[in-house]
């Protein structure tokens, strides 16, 4: 049971992180085209996009943590085949 949960959570983590990578590429491309090369955050919209990206990455890494816990529980359980 824990192994199936780990597989499902791993699939979810991959989707979240893939969405995060796509969002990062779109975000950086837009701001590069719209405002040119810049080092700092130049407006509120860019800050909001960066905050969303941080939450996506934290969510994906959190799900990976759950996957690791599920795998450890599976390996330590007595009733595995």
3-49 pLDDT, tens digit each:
888 899 999 999 999 999 999 999 999 999 998 888 888 899 999 99
pLDDT, residue 81, reads: 65
Instruction: Find the DSSP H helices in the chain.
Output: 2-35, 44-76
pLDDT, residue 14, reads: 95
**pTM of the full structure:** 0.81
Binned at pLDDT 50, 70 and 90, residue 80 comes out as low
Q: What angle do CA 11, 18, 3 make, to 5 degrees?
A: 15
Q: Tell which phi-psi region holds residue 36, choosing left (phi > 0), alpha (psi between -120 and 50) or beta.
A: left
CA atoms within 13 A on the CB side of 65: 6
């Amino acid at each position: 049971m824990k192994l199936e949960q780990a597989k499902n959570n791993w699939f979810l983590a991959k989707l979240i992180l893939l969405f995060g990578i796509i969002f990062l590429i779109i975000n950086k491309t837009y701001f590069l085209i719209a405002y040119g090369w810049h080092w700092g955050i130049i407006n509120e919209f860019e800050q909001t996009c960066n905050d969303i990206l941080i939450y996506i990455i934290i969510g994906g890494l959190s799900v990976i943590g759950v996957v690791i816990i599920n795998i450890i529980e599976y390996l330590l359980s007595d009733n595995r085949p």
